[in-house]
Structure 1
């Protein structure tokens, strides 16, 4: 997922839920007293909203608007979490483990709902609240917020990658990964910009790449019950593609350390022909490189097999209600306001964050700011999600350590290693160092 670059951010090893008791030291118990709940002077209660640091002003505008619309029932206070996803999760986990009652509305990465639900930290959405949360919301974002058949959060925004390419270098965008790599190799032989920019560093971005390829090959990382690895032939096909790119002239020499913003900068430098990235690259290219922008086009993410759609892994933020909130009913009401159509449109226009409400993709204002809105909607309708399990952080580490650098991948051996280590991760046998 966020902030000025709405994309998945780096993740480092994190403690599992079973180890959270170790956090309950004096320092954390003191942390539970941070941020007064408000309303002590007889005024309306203050609802504390914890979310990623948004530099666009969209969230601050939504907070002000919803506070005003409450008619004096409550005031919302926007508390900014750290920039990186691991820091965001760490702060939420520690304070929830300490049963901090000063937390009300929580902005969760789309992979966190199962873990937080299993730990008993967030409340399910039921009855009228659930009906309002699901009405008109795209299926894939709702899936990220669902665990064991229950909705535990309301999707605030989504995110997905497109293929960005130079129309002065290729007549039409490649439909498959093989076509794209072949095009890049041809351009290299002609002495033209040819690189394919994608996230290959040892962090969440490379996991997103792998999950997208596995899903696009017709497979999944875990079985349907999330009790064992699935992988198999689709995973080996995904690994073959990653290995082929990394071993070809199409690969950026910095592939093994590249993240989303490095991909953006490389494309803007004029050395690349293709880029797999999030919509933030569009306004950046328009502002920074107007000459290149004239030929900066977009298309659907390349397929693994011709004639089959790609299934791009989505990101985004889901809003959950803390079990320890002193005002849960008001918090549900406020969360629904914060993610309503008006506020999602502002977040899309100001912050570049794709909405989760399907109706907004036909909104004329959004269409003007999002000329690629139809492709974003199509990608979200065909999207895949990352493995849904409370052990996701462990699994993410297993995968990122096994497939980065991509040049070291041995498809058969790597698939076997990932499967074995996922079994250990699901059995809580420890993290890969």
Structure 2
């Protein structure tokens, strides 16, 4: 019988709590809580920063679960309990407001904040900021691009309507791959469309629902048209990023909206597809509007109960440095947050789409910066799933009511 999710979380929590121990003799040990990055780039960055400290600290990694929801829940439980073992946190970009508002991470000192933000791309900078303070330094980033088959697409479509029209005209082999399952990816899809239409989920204060009728309706119209188009994959309602990747690699599709990891994956798993794989900025909602795509990535924050906060900020500064970002790009294929690295020949060899990625990141949109973001994301994905059942006129109001309720929910778990 498979383990229950809460039992699994309890076991993981106990295991990690067992890692909390008295500091040994010698340099202080700083614990960096982060997901296990498969290439070993994070371990190597920690080793190099430890060596660079010349004995001031030892940087060790404490691995979080692979599931993002379990990562957050485990950290929230430990941070709320005042755990002093958490020195550094590899923070998902959507955690910034929640952890900052709760007082679970420390704001970066102004001088160090200026130092780590110099030369960073605007989108990643915004993802680590909340209420005009930096709470997490930009480390690695990512966003979606439009991937397409150069042997099937004669003229690159600039708008969603043009892309759907062209996919339908291609017929067999003209499918569009997008994320339509009821999960975070659907919220990301909606937020990107909404921002591209000139709208937002919350107002600038982050305390009131925005969802202006015209851009909200336009975003919903695109989602419904895609879902009802013959160019939509029949599995759209259960499709996540990896299902999209696999479907594109199978050769059945002409277009895909997805993150940059699909490029090395296609080269390794479907070279015949990679040979005809192009990239472009996400489609716009209209020719006069610039697309704005939701940002992802990992930032570095310092736990509020760290025994060694000054050393933790020093270590975090090293982890987000140019050398560490170059290492993460080379070993793990993780896009950097420093703009200048996109001009580096080594980085450009890894990301031949570096220019379009950098401009997309510069114009990126943030998911709603609120401590109750998780509740809002659930409200959006539940209201809009499945996409083919969206009724734009009706669902503008339904969505507003759902987000309003989520915005005023109580509790962080």
In structure 2, the partner of 1:401 is 382
Return the alpha-carbon distance in structure 2 between the equivalents of residues 281 and 173 of structure 1: 19
Seen in structure 2, the aligned counterparts of structure 1 residues 32 and 302 have a Cα distance that, compared at 3 Å, is closer
Seen in structure 2, the aligned counterparts of structure 1 residues 37 and 47 have a Cα distance that, compared at 3 Å, is farther
In structure 1, the partner of 2:372 is 391
Return the alpha-carbon distance in structure 2 between the equivalents of residues 373 and 38 of structure 1: 45
Q: CA deviation at 1:33?
A: 5.2
In structure 1, the partner of 2:56 is 73
Seen in structure 2, the aligned counterparts of structure 1 residues 418 and 44 have a Cα distance that, compared at 3 Å, is same
Q: CA deviation at 1:367?
A: 0.8
SS of 2:255's equivalent in the other structure is: strand
Give CA-to-partner distance per residue, 1:209-237, whole Å, 9 cap, x none. 10000000011111111122111211110
Of residues 14, 24, 32, the one that matches 1:49 is 32
SS of 2:254's equivalent in the other structure is: strand
In structure 1, the partner of 2:340 is 359
1:130 paired with 2:113, answer yes
Return the alpha-carbon distance in structure 1 between the equivalents of residues 274 and 403 of structure 2: 42
SS of 1:383's equivalent in the other structure is: coil
Return the alpha-carbon distance in structure 2 between the equivalents of residues 110 and 293 of structure 1: 30
Of residues 34, 42, 45, the one that matches 1:62 is 45
Give CA-to-partner distance per residue, 1:69-103, whole Å, 9 cap, x none. 10011100011111111011011101101111011
Return the alpha-carbon distance in structure 2 between the equivalents of residues 327 and 94 of structure 1: 21
SS of 2:94's equivalent in the other structure is: coil
In structure 2, the partner of 1:276 is 257
Give CA-to-partner distance per residue, 1:235-268, whole Å, 9 cap, x none. 1100000000100101100000000000000001
Q: CA deviation at 1:37?
A: 5.2
Give CA-to-partner distance per residue, 1:135-188, whole Å, 9 cap, x none. 111111111111111111101111111100001111132110000000011011
Return the alpha-carbon distance in structure 1 between the equivalents of residues 18 and 122 of structure 2: 37
SS of 1:111's equivalent in the other structure is: helix
Of residues 191, 211, 218, the one that matches 1:237 is 218
Of residues 93, 97, 100, the one that matches 1:110 is 93
In structure 2, the partner of 1:94 is 77
SS of 1:112's equivalent in the other structure is: helix
Which sits farther off after the overlay, 344-353 or 250-259? 344-353
Kindly indicate whether the alpha-carbon contact (under 8 Å) linking 1:163 and 1:299 is maintained by their aligned counterparts in 2.
yes
Of residues 202, 205, 216, the one that matches 2:185 is 205
In structure 2, the partner of 1:121 is 104
Seen in structure 2, the aligned counterparts of structure 1 residues 287 and 31 have a Cα distance that, compared at 3 Å, is closer
1:82 paired with 2:62, answer no
Q: TM-score, normalised by structure 1?
A: 0.90
In structure 2, the partner of 1:35 is 19
In structure 1, the partner of 2:166 is 183
In structure 1, the partner of 2:308 is 327
In structure 2, the partner of 1:291 is 272
Give CA-to-partner distance per residue, 1:2-22, whole Å, 9 cap, x none. xxxxxxxxxxx99xxxxxxxx
Return the alpha-carbon distance in structure 2 between the equivalents of residues 62 and 147 of structure 1: 27
Alignment of 1:371-390 (within 5 A): 371-390=352-371
Return the alpha-carbon distance in structure 1 between the equivalents of residues 155 and 116 of structure 2: 39
Return the alpha-carbon distance in structure 2 between the equivalents of residues 72 and 237 of structure 1: 57
- Structure 1: any 5+ residue segments left out of the alignment? 1-12, 15-22
Of residues 283, 287, 299, the one that matches 1:302 is 283
SS of 1:379's equivalent in the other structure is: helix
Which sits farther off after the overlay, 419-428 or 201-210? 419-428
Q: CA deviation at 1:339?
A: 1.2
Give the paired residue count. Answer: 404
Return the alpha-carbon distance in structure 1 between the equivalents of residues 331 and 178 of structure 2: 25
Aligned residues: CA RMSD: 2.0
Return the alpha-carbon distance in structure 2 between the equivalents of residues 360 and 391 of structure 1: 34
